[in-house]
Amino acid sequence: MIVGEPIEVELSPDGAPVRFLWRNVRYGVTSAPEPWLGRTAWWRSTTRAPRGAGVRFEREMWRVDAVPLQGTRVRLDGSFDLARLPDGSWQLDEAWDDELEVRLFA
């Protein structure tokens, strides 16, 4: 599911996500984080990319598997796409729930 919400991310010494806080629930990363570059949807915010403005079309993304580290009413174990925004803040772009995948593809 597309989320698009701000999150807080704790990084390892080498810069990979190890924990993140989303909707007041702390998640722990359980797999090796996979870095990749995602495209920004610049065409949704402007009709033209400004010439010479240094607009970044790629952004740093990390795909992680994570589990809640505290009790929650709704448990969401799954895969998450974390995006580092140009200002250094983080956003949860997408989340996939393992239970939903089992129900859909079992």
CA distance 53 to 3: 29
| Band of residue 101 on the pLDDT scale cut at 50, 70, 90 | low
CA distance 85 to 10: 15
In the chain, how many domains are there? 1
Domain assignment of residue 93, given as a range: 2-105
The pLDDT tens digits of the residues spanning 45-89 come to 555 656 665 556 678 999 999 999 976 666 667 899 999 988 899
- Work out the percent of the chain whose per-residue pLDDT is above 70: 68
Across 90-99, average pLDDT:
85
Question: Shortest CA distance to 8 belongs to which of 60, 29, 16, 23?
Answer: 23
Mean pLDDT estimate for the chain: 82
CB 24 within 8 A of CB 18: no
State the Cα angle at 83 between 13 and 60, rounded to 5°: 70
For the record, the structure tokens of 48 come out as 């033209």
For residue 32, the model assigns a pLDDT of: 93
